[in-house]
Chains A and B, each alone.
Chain A
Amino acid sequence: MRGRSSLLALLLGFVWAGEMAGQTSRLLEQAGELERRGRLEEAAQRYRLVLREDPANVSALLGLERTYEALGRLDSMVAPVRAALSLDSLNGSIRALELRVWAALRMPDSVALAAQRWIRVQPQAVEPYREWAFALAQRGDLAGARRVLQEGALKLGNAGLSQELAQLTALAGEWSEAARQWLVVVRGNPALVGTAAANLGRAPPVVRDAVLGMLVGPGADSTSKLLAAELLVGWGRAAEGWALLDAVLPSDAARAQALLQRFADRTRVQNSREAMLVRAYALERLAGMSSGAPSERARVGAARAYADAGDLRAAERLLRDLLSAGPSREPSVVEAVASLVEAMAVQGQVSEAESRFRQWYGVLNGDARSSLAEALAWGWIKKGDLDRADRVLAGDSSVEATALRGWIALYRGDLGRAHEFFRQAGPYVGSREEATRRTAALVLLQRIQAEKLPDLGRALHALAMGDTARAVEGLEQVAGRLSAEGGRTELLGFAGELAAAMNDLAAAVRLLVSAIEGDSTSAAAVAAEVALARVYAELGDRERAVAQLEHLILAHPESAQVPQARRLLDRLRGAVPQI
């Protein structure tokens, strides 16, 4: 009988405890919601209800701290904190709360006494010092906070508090001293090098050399140089960072690999040639230190980075090594080969690019073959060899190739065929920029309506080859033979914009004025007005630029150019920032 009663009592006890826990959780939830809505008195009342049953409930204590602080009644926290500590004197959260409360009440002596009480019950803990310093720093006493940390460091050894000390020193703007302190931290725990670099990385530019001087000056060791290398790469000085890292790479292969990978990753987000090159160095070194798939991945990455940085020889050297083992269809290898061939074509090494294209043709997938063929064709077009461009595309029936054939036909002056190819390719092929360029060409062809015009082809081809001056001259000559309705305005406007782009502003004004004079109503003439206003602005003739734009807006209020004209007008009048 007694056994049953005990069991029943135990069960009831469990039920009661479960219900209490559920009620506490409900009250805390309600209090949080009331706090969020700004009903602080009601929230505080819920927190107090929780504490009545469970005086050491940390969630309720922290909630009460927040609400009392907002209500300006933090002095009411003293009693709940004391009650909580009498039940759980070793609880770090409650001890820290006590410090914060006294600090907020601006009672520094009580803060110190509370901290000392905590230290007495936990003499080997770093938390009392850390929280004491934090409470002081929060109230603006940075010097006091540092004194507390120094005292703690003296008693317990540096390890536990040196990180906080370094952070506080950085916060006070003493960057060189902060660097020295971080160095102590990193020497004790090399894994914190990233944390140290993140904190010191916030140093303003004017003090960065002093920070570096501290790290790499006399007495510098590998740890300080590694930290300096981290900082340099973060500050966009990747080459200097690499020189330091390269010199102090540890002999432990695993650690060296981790450092190289981290360094390469950090340079990935930087777009400068220097960063790409340094990334390539780090990855190539990493490839040499590893084997198998990781080594291959690093080598491919290095090859791409070399190609991106424009060092095609180095990229090719790596890829040759990579492919000598046999053809690889690994996507990363395909991408690296494609990058290299494309970079060669873009840089004008079209013969070499085509030869590598043929050599590695088997490695490439269909998409890569197609896009590289186009890159090569453009390479030949820019070299002036339209026949070879045509040959590269032979057998390629893709819409991209059709669009490119349109350009080749246009450069030959065969306007009819160019029109037909562009029409077949449609308006969406290629990048947005390329599609816009093609549509503009199609509009021009429709205006001109001639089947063949070799002079126009030569002028446009000169432009594709980068000879803008010859293009402008050719376009002006061709325009002279056309009527206003037959494309003259478009060609003169286009020539004017090209002249402006190559900074021949006098020629630009002459061409654009000619475009407008012969035709005041077409869309091309209105576009020429905007271009002319831009040129006037470039010449510093703000008055004429404004007059031109005002004329356009008033005379052609429905034109699609009006928003652009208004925007330019705002810039000229200083109504919006000159970005």
Chain B
Amino acid sequence: MKRRDFLAAACALALPYLRLPRSAGRRSVLSQLLVPMDDSQANHLKAYGVTYRALKRGGRAEWLLNYRGGSFLIPADAATERDAALSGVTVEPVDDAQVVEIRGVIEANNMDALPLEKAPKVAVYVPPNAAPWDDAVTMALEYAGIEYAKVWDPEVLTGRLADYEWLHLHHEDFTGQFSKFYLTYSGAFWLQEMVERNFQMARRFGFATVPDLKKAVARGIRRFVEEGGFLFAMCTATETLEIALAAEEVDVAAQYADGTPMDPDASSKLDWGRTFAFERVRLELSPAIASFSDIDGHQVNNPPRRQPLGAFTLFNFSAKIDPVPTMLVQCHRQVIPDFYGLTTSFNRDRLKPGVTVLADEPGAPWVKYIHGDYGKGTWTFLGGHDPEDPQHQIGDPPTDLSLHPNSPGYRLILNNVLFPAAKKRELKT
């Protein structure tokens, strides 16, 4: 058999297996793929991954803010079509005329088309041996298939954050008190390991105590933002990062963490001019209560002050005037059930005046999702631990995101991942 005949036969045999997407026959006029992000999308979370990988392959994409739930327009190449099919992501092939029509709708409404130019370099601050399954962001990144690097104290302290555009923090305790689990979980293997690892790190970098080490790390993170980095933090990292920054010369750690009791007047000595988001905060003085301050409105581990979960509402912004907050709230749901974390929410009266509130619980004294600028960079804080595990407890099985492919809460996390991809465009806020 000649080579040409062999290929023809092979193609004929393979044809039934290689059923092409609906668009294949019309490819000549179909230049792009619309990734709808409204209720017609089968897998919202993986849609971010498909877009990210299209950018990674060098393609350009557009984020159609407020258009069908914040859809994406990506190149209709074979690799992207295959990726979408394998990921179960709904895509709609669109020809040039349809694209023009979409642009007309965007022009006439509170919508905007934002170019996405490059896949951002993502780093997640996490201890080296931590599994990805106890951190909502790493779970979202793993599920969506978005590459990220793990960084921890050594990378922050040696200035390696400059290699990345996006940094995520989850439930790290930057006050150096091991999430204040020390007394409740004394003897638990995971806690002993966490304590030992942090003590080793403090010794390695010449800090007398873990709280001192973590304060230095917090300053490194602030520098990253100041110099143009994008910071996204969740859960207790939000609150403790702020306390650590405000407490540069104040002892805010319990005796078990640094050998000396917390300064009883610590709250009045904190300098909130050094922080991103909060001010006038009062600290929780008891080492036995796993709560840090009155930043958190829900106080999940403080029984007399614990508040029940409600639902939070995403704000509407003007897409053409405020594209950044608009990007951060793109979602197919406006109201999302709340979820606990060591820090669940942020009391409104503790916010600095310039902070942009992205979501709150109407009628409640707290907000859920906030954003602001600092230096050349930006920060975004989302309260709570895991959007699909509202009552998350230590030891709970990890969330399997393949069971929540349309999670609106996880979408908020992924909005933050793609947000730096739009960095190059001159943003209005």
A residues at B contact (CB < 8 Å): 37-38, 40, 70, 72, 106, 137-140, 142, 171-173, 203-207, 520-521, 550-551, 553-557, 562-563, 566-567, 569-570, 573-577, 579
Contacts and interface: CB of A to CB of B under 8 A. Distances in A.
B143 A575 contact: yes
A140 B285 contact: yes
Question: 7 closest Cβ contacts across the A-B interface?
Answer: A38-B365, A204-B187, A555-B17, A173-B186, A140-B286, A577-B398, A206-B187
B188 A204 contact: yes
Contact of A140 (B131, B254, B365): B254
A577 B133 contact: yes
29 contacts: A37-B364, A140-B254, A140-B286, A171-B183, A171-B288, A173-B183, A203-B187, A204-B186, A204-B187, A205-B187, A206-B189, A550-B86, A553-B85, A554-B82, A554-B85, A563-B88, A566-B88, A567-B402, A573-B145, A575-B143, A575-B144, A575-B145, A575-B401, A576-B142, A576-B401, A577-B131, A577-B133, A577-B400, A579-B400
Nearest to B87: A566
B263 to A, nearest CB: 10
A555 B18 contact: yes
B111 to A, nearest CB: 31
A563 B43 CA distance: 11
B364 A38 contact: yes
Nearest to B282: A72
- Specify which of A37, A40, A140, A562 lies most central, judged by the most chain B CB atoms within 10 Å of its CB: A140
A142 B183 CA distance: 11
B19 A554 contact: yes
A553 B86 contact: yes
Contact of A139 (B17, B133, B285): B285
Nearest to B131: A577
Given A207-B187, A566-B402, A575-B143, A106 B265 contact: yes
A554 B18 contact: yes
Contacts of B16: 520-521, 555
A412 to B, nearest CB: 39
B143 A570 contact: yes
A574 B187 CA distance: 31
A138 B285 CA distance: 8
B195 to A, nearest CB: 13
A566 B49 CA distance: 15
B280 interface: yes
Interface string B127-159: 000010100000000111100000000000000
- Specify which of B186, B188, B363, B366 lies most central, judged by the most chain A CB atoms within 10 Å of its CB: B186
Nearest to B302: A138
Given A138-B286, A139-B285, A142-B288, A551 B17 contact: yes
B188 A576 contact: no
Given A139-B285, A171-B288, A204-B186, A576 B400 contact: yes
B397 interface: yes
Contact of A575 (B17, B142, B264, B366): B142
Contact of A555 (B19, B187, B189, B364): B19
A313 B191 CA distance: 47
A72 B264 contact: no
B287 interface: yes
Nearest to A566: B88
Contacts of B185: 204
A138 B187 CA distance: 23
B273 interface: no
Contacts of A577: 131, 133, 397-400
Interface of B: 16-19, 82, 85-88, 131, 133, 142-145, 183, 185-189, 254, 261-262, 264-265, 280, 282, 285-289, 294, 348, 363-366, 397-402
- Specify which of A70, A567, A573 lies most central, judged by the most chain B CB atoms within 10 Å of its CB: A70
A569 B85 CA distance: 13
A12 to B, nearest CB: 42
A171 B182 CA distance: 11
B170 to A, nearest CB: 16
B364 A172 contact: no
A520 B399 CA distance: 35
B309 to A, nearest CB: 15
Nearest to B145: A575
A555 B18 CA distance: 5
A175 B230 CA distance: 45
Nearest to B262: A140
A557 B87 CA distance: 11
A577 B285 CA distance: 37
Nearest to B183: A173
Contacts of B280: 72
Nearest to A174: B186
A579 B145 contact: no
B365 to A, nearest CB: 3
B402 A570 contact: yes
Contacts of A37: 363-365
A574 B148 CA distance: 14
A70 B295 CA distance: 11
B85 A557 contact: yes
Nearest to B13: A520
- Specify which of B280, B286, B401 lies most central, judged by the most chain A CB atoms within 10 Å of its CB: B286
Contacts of B286: 137-140
Contacts of A551: 17
B254 to A, nearest CB: 7
Given A72-B282, A106-B265, A204-B185, A137 B288 contact: yes
B86 A569 contact: yes
A554 B17 contact: yes
Contacts of A139: 264, 285-286
Nearest to B186: A173
Contacts of A553: 85-86, 88
Contacts of B264: 106, 139
Contacts of B142: 574-576
A562 B85 CA distance: 11
A206 B87 CA distance: 45
Contacts of A205: 187
Nearest to B45: A575
A171 B256 CA distance: 14
Contacts of A555: 16-19
Contacts of A554: 17-19, 82, 85-86
Nearest to A521: B16
Contacts of A38: 348, 363-366
